[in-house]
Protein backbone atom coordinates (compact mmCIF):
# COMPACT_ATOMS: atom_id res chain seq x y z
CA UNK A 1 0.00 0.00 0.00
CA UNK A 2 1.28 3.48 -0.77
CA UNK A 3 2.04 5.73 2.18
CA UNK A 4 -0.61 8.35 2.88
CA UNK A 5 2.03 11.03 3.12
CA UNK A 6 5.49 10.73 1.69
CA UNK A 7 8.23 13.33 1.92
CA UNK A 8 11.29 12.89 -0.20
CA UNK A 9 14.35 15.06 0.48
CA UNK A 10 12.17 18.08 1.23
CA UNK A 11 14.12 21.31 1.77
CA UNK A 12 13.60 25.05 1.73
CA UNK A 13 16.21 27.75 1.53
CA UNK A 14 15.37 31.14 3.06
CA UNK A 15 18.14 33.11 1.38
CA UNK A 16 20.90 30.90 2.68
CA UNK A 17 19.18 29.59 5.80
CA UNK A 18 17.84 26.07 5.38
CA UNK A 19 14.94 25.87 7.83
CA UNK A 20 14.06 22.42 6.50
CA UNK A 21 17.03 20.59 5.15
CA UNK A 22 16.35 17.34 3.33
CA UNK A 23 13.54 15.70 5.28
CA UNK A 24 12.33 12.30 4.10
CA UNK A 25 9.62 10.34 5.83
CA UNK A 26 6.64 8.12 5.10
CA UNK A 27 3.43 8.17 7.12
CA UNK A 28 1.26 5.11 6.62
CA UNK A 29 -2.51 5.09 6.06
CA UNK A 30 -4.36 5.86 9.28
CA UNK A 31 -1.16 6.41 11.24
CA UNK A 32 -0.72 9.14 13.80
CA UNK A 33 2.78 10.55 13.63
CA UNK A 34 4.07 13.00 16.19
CA UNK A 35 6.64 15.56 15.17
CA UNK A 36 8.94 16.63 17.99
CA UNK A 37 11.67 19.23 18.05
CA UNK A 38 12.97 22.23 19.93
CA UNK A 39 11.83 25.75 19.10
CA UNK A 40 12.94 26.67 15.61
CA UNK A 41 13.61 23.06 14.59
CA UNK A 42 11.53 23.58 11.45
CA UNK A 43 8.28 21.79 12.41
CA UNK A 44 5.94 24.56 11.32
CA UNK A 45 7.99 25.20 8.21
CA UNK A 46 7.71 21.53 7.31
CA UNK A 47 3.93 21.81 7.52
CA UNK A 48 4.08 24.98 5.41
CA UNK A 49 5.93 23.01 2.75
CA UNK A 50 3.45 20.13 2.78
CA UNK A 51 0.39 22.37 2.62
CA UNK A 52 1.76 24.73 -0.02
CA UNK A 53 2.04 27.83 2.13
CA UNK A 54 5.76 27.87 1.41
CA UNK A 55 7.28 26.50 -1.76
CA UNK A 56 9.94 23.82 -1.39
CA UNK A 57 13.24 24.54 -3.08
CA UNK A 58 14.09 20.85 -3.21
CA UNK A 59 12.35 17.54 -2.79
CA UNK A 60 8.86 16.18 -3.22
CA UNK A 61 5.58 15.80 -1.35
CA UNK A 62 3.36 12.87 -2.27
CA UNK A 63 -0.18 12.59 -0.93
CA UNK A 64 -1.74 9.17 -1.48
CA UNK A 65 0.96 8.62 -4.08
CA UNK A 66 0.10 11.83 -5.92
CA UNK A 67 2.79 14.46 -6.37
CA UNK A 68 1.48 17.75 -5.00
CA UNK A 69 4.79 19.61 -4.82
CA UNK A 70 4.42 23.22 -5.92
CA UNK A 71 0.62 23.20 -6.26
CA UNK A 72 -1.34 26.14 -4.87
CA UNK A 73 -2.79 25.86 -1.38
CA UNK A 74 -6.41 25.19 -2.28
CA UNK A 75 -5.35 22.55 -4.80
CA UNK A 76 -3.29 20.73 -2.20
CA UNK A 77 -6.26 20.95 0.15
CA UNK A 78 -8.44 19.34 -2.52
CA UNK A 79 -5.83 16.62 -2.95
CA UNK A 80 -6.69 15.66 0.64
CA UNK A 81 -4.50 17.69 2.97
CA UNK A 82 -6.22 19.43 5.89
CA UNK A 83 -4.37 21.74 8.20
CA UNK A 84 -4.79 23.31 11.59
CA UNK A 85 -2.61 26.28 12.36
CA UNK A 86 -0.82 27.12 15.57
CA UNK A 87 -3.25 30.00 16.13
CA UNK A 88 -6.78 28.60 15.88
CA UNK A 89 -8.69 29.96 12.93
CA UNK A 90 -12.41 29.51 12.37
CA UNK A 91 -15.02 31.68 10.67
CA UNK A 92 -15.90 33.94 13.56
CA UNK A 93 -18.97 35.60 12.00
CA UNK A 94 -20.64 32.27 11.16
CA UNK A 95 -22.37 29.90 13.53
CA UNK A 96 -20.68 26.66 14.58
CA UNK A 97 -23.02 24.77 12.27
CA UNK A 98 -22.23 27.05 9.32
CA UNK A 99 -18.51 26.61 9.97
CA UNK A 100 -18.94 22.87 9.61
CA UNK A 101 -21.16 23.28 6.55
CA UNK A 102 -18.49 25.31 4.81
CA UNK A 103 -15.88 22.70 5.67
CA UNK A 104 -18.17 19.93 4.45
CA UNK A 105 -18.87 21.15 0.94
CA UNK A 106 -17.59 18.46 -1.38
CA UNK A 107 -17.52 20.49 -4.55
CA UNK A 108 -15.45 23.63 -4.26
CA UNK A 109 -16.59 25.73 -7.26
CA UNK A 110 -18.89 28.75 -6.95
CA UNK A 111 -21.44 27.37 -9.40
CA UNK A 112 -21.91 24.04 -7.68
CA UNK A 113 -22.58 25.87 -4.41
CA UNK A 114 -25.41 28.04 -5.71
CA UNK A 115 -27.89 25.82 -3.91
CA UNK A 116 -29.50 25.68 -0.52
CA UNK A 117 -30.08 22.45 1.31
CA UNK A 118 -27.69 19.86 2.62
CA UNK A 119 -28.35 16.26 1.63
CA UNK A 120 -29.60 13.80 4.23
CA UNK A 121 -26.28 12.04 4.58
CA UNK A 122 -24.47 15.37 4.90
CA UNK A 123 -26.83 16.44 7.69
CA UNK A 124 -26.32 13.18 9.50
CA UNK A 125 -22.55 13.48 9.24
CA UNK A 126 -22.71 17.07 10.49
CA UNK A 127 -24.66 15.93 13.55
CA UNK A 128 -22.14 13.17 14.14
CA UNK A 129 -19.19 15.55 14.07
CA UNK A 130 -20.95 18.06 16.34
CA UNK A 131 -21.30 15.25 18.85
CA UNK A 132 -17.70 14.11 18.44
CA UNK A 133 -16.33 17.55 19.23
CA UNK A 134 -18.93 18.06 21.96
CA UNK A 135 -20.39 21.27 20.58
CA UNK A 136 -24.00 20.22 19.98
CA UNK A 137 -25.25 22.78 22.47
CA UNK A 138 -23.28 25.52 20.72
CA UNK A 139 -24.35 24.66 17.18
CA UNK A 140 -26.25 27.91 16.62
CA UNK A 141 -23.76 30.16 18.39
CA UNK A 142 -21.46 32.48 16.54
CA UNK A 143 -18.02 30.89 16.42
CA UNK A 144 -16.44 34.15 17.52
CA UNK A 145 -18.11 33.71 20.91
CA UNK A 146 -16.59 30.30 21.67
CA UNK A 147 -13.93 29.73 24.33
CA UNK A 148 -10.35 29.03 23.28
CA UNK A 149 -10.72 25.28 23.76
CA UNK A 150 -14.06 25.16 21.94
CA UNK A 151 -12.55 27.07 19.04
CA UNK A 152 -9.79 24.48 18.74
CA UNK A 153 -12.33 21.65 18.79
CA UNK A 154 -14.44 23.34 16.18
CA UNK A 155 -11.39 23.59 13.97
CA UNK A 156 -10.68 19.89 14.53
CA UNK A 157 -14.30 19.19 13.65
CA UNK A 158 -13.88 21.14 10.44
CA UNK A 159 -10.89 18.99 9.50
CA UNK A 160 -12.90 15.85 10.25
CA UNK A 161 -15.86 16.87 8.15
CA UNK A 162 -13.62 18.16 5.37
CA UNK A 163 -12.63 14.49 5.14
CA UNK A 164 -9.01 15.23 4.44
CA UNK A 165 -7.04 12.03 4.14
CA UNK A 166 -3.97 13.67 5.67
CA UNK A 167 -4.38 16.09 8.58
CA UNK A 168 -1.63 18.36 9.85
CA UNK A 169 -2.03 19.64 13.41
CA UNK A 170 0.33 22.29 14.73
CA UNK A 171 0.33 22.34 18.55
CA UNK A 172 -3.36 21.52 18.98
CA UNK A 173 -3.21 21.82 22.78
CA UNK A 174 -1.32 25.09 23.02
CA UNK A 175 -2.87 27.29 25.69
CA UNK A 176 -5.33 24.65 26.86
CA UNK A 177 -6.20 23.68 30.43
CA UNK A 178 -5.54 20.11 31.53
CA UNK A 179 -9.16 19.16 31.14
CA UNK A 180 -9.29 20.63 27.66
CA UNK A 181 -6.06 18.85 26.71
CA UNK A 182 -7.54 15.51 27.79
CA UNK A 183 -10.62 16.09 25.67
CA UNK A 184 -8.45 17.07 22.71
CA UNK A 185 -6.45 13.85 23.08
CA UNK A 186 -9.73 11.96 23.00
CA UNK A 187 -10.84 13.72 19.81
CA UNK A 188 -7.50 13.11 18.14
CA UNK A 189 -7.54 9.45 19.08
CA UNK A 190 -10.91 9.13 17.35
CA UNK A 191 -9.45 10.62 14.18
CA UNK A 192 -6.83 7.87 14.00
CA UNK A 193 -7.53 5.17 11.48
CA UNK A 194 -9.99 7.17 9.44
CA UNK A 195 -7.42 9.92 8.78
CA UNK A 196 -3.66 10.02 8.65
CA UNK A 197 -2.28 12.55 11.10
CA UNK A 198 0.90 14.50 11.52
CA UNK A 199 0.91 16.27 14.89
CA UNK A 200 3.38 18.81 16.29
CA UNK A 201 3.29 18.79 20.06
CA UNK A 202 5.52 19.82 22.96
CA UNK A 203 3.50 18.42 25.84
CA UNK A 204 5.08 14.97 26.47
CA UNK A 205 2.21 13.70 28.61
CA UNK A 206 -0.09 14.45 25.71
CA UNK A 207 2.31 12.85 23.24
CA UNK A 208 2.33 9.62 25.30
CA UNK A 209 -1.47 9.70 25.15
CA UNK A 210 -1.71 9.84 21.41
CA UNK A 211 1.58 8.78 19.81
CA UNK A 212 2.52 5.61 18.05
CA UNK A 213 5.57 6.74 16.16
CA UNK A 214 7.58 9.88 16.71
CA UNK A 215 9.85 11.75 14.34
CA UNK A 216 12.32 14.15 15.93
CA UNK A 217 13.44 17.17 13.92
CA UNK A 218 16.59 19.05 14.77
CA UNK A 219 17.94 22.01 12.81
CA UNK A 220 15.74 21.12 9.87
CA UNK A 221 16.81 17.47 9.71
CA UNK A 222 15.37 14.20 10.94
CA UNK A 223 17.32 13.26 14.04
CA UNK A 224 15.50 10.10 15.05
CA UNK A 225 12.36 8.14 14.38
CA UNK A 226 10.70 5.44 16.47
CA UNK A 227 8.20 4.65 19.19
CA UNK A 228 7.83 6.64 22.40
CA UNK A 229 10.18 4.52 24.51
CA UNK A 230 12.86 4.48 21.82
CA UNK A 231 12.78 8.25 21.42
CA UNK A 232 12.75 8.96 25.13
CA UNK A 233 15.93 6.97 25.59
CA UNK A 234 17.68 8.10 22.43
CA UNK A 235 21.04 9.66 23.36
CA UNK A 236 21.18 12.14 20.48
CA UNK A 237 17.64 13.31 21.16
CA UNK A 238 18.58 13.84 24.78
CA UNK A 239 21.60 15.82 23.66
CA UNK A 240 19.51 17.96 21.32
CA UNK A 241 17.28 18.89 24.23
CA UNK A 242 20.37 19.75 26.29
CA UNK A 243 19.63 21.41 29.58
CA UNK A 244 16.12 20.05 29.55
CA UNK A 245 17.27 16.62 30.78
CA UNK A 246 15.70 14.75 27.97
CA UNK A 247 12.24 15.45 26.72
CA UNK A 248 10.33 16.72 29.70
Ligand X SMILES: Nc1ncnc2c1ncn2[C@@H]1O[C@H](COP(=O)(O)OP(=O)(O)OP(=O)(O)O)[C@@H](O)[C@H]1O
**Residue ranges that bind ligand X, judged by CB under 6 A:** 14, 17, 19, 37, 39-45
The residues pairing with 225 across neighbouring beta strands, listed in sequence order, are 215
Task: Report the C-alpha gap between 191 and 171 in whole angstroms.
Answer: 16
* Of residues 54 and 95, the one with the C-beta less far from ligand X: 54
Among positions 38-57, residues that touch Mg ion (CB under 5 A) are: 44
Task: Report the C-alpha gap between 215 and 200 in whole angstroms.
Answer: 10
- Residue 116 binding target from ligand X, Mg ion, other proteins, none, CB below 5 to 8 Å by type: other proteins
Neighbour order of strands in the sheet with 32-36: 81-84, 166-170, 196-200, 32-36, 213-218, 221-227
* Of residues 52 and 59, the one with the C-beta less far from other proteins: 52
Tell me which of 37, 59, 82, 220 binds other proteins, using CB under 8 A: 82
Task: Report the C-alpha gap between 12 and 120 in whole angstroms.
Answer: 45
Does the footprint of other proteins cover residue 50 (CB under 8 A)?
no
- Residue 40 binding target from Mg ion, ligand X, other proteins, none, CB below 5 to 8 Å by type: ligand X
- Residue 103 binding target from Mg ion, other proteins, ligand X, none, CB below 5 to 8 Å by type: other proteins
Does the footprint of other proteins cover residue 217 (CB under 8 A)?
no
Nearest residue to 200 via CA among 103, 83, 68, 52: 83
Enumerate binding residues for Mg ion (CB under 5 A). 44
Amino acid sequence: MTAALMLDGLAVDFSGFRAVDGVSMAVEQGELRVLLGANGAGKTTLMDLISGKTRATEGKVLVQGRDVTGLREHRIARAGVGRKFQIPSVFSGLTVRQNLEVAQSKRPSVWSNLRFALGMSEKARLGEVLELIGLEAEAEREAGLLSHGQTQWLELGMLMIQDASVILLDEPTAGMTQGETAKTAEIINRLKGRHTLLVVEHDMAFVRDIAERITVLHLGRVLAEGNVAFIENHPEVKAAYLGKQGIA
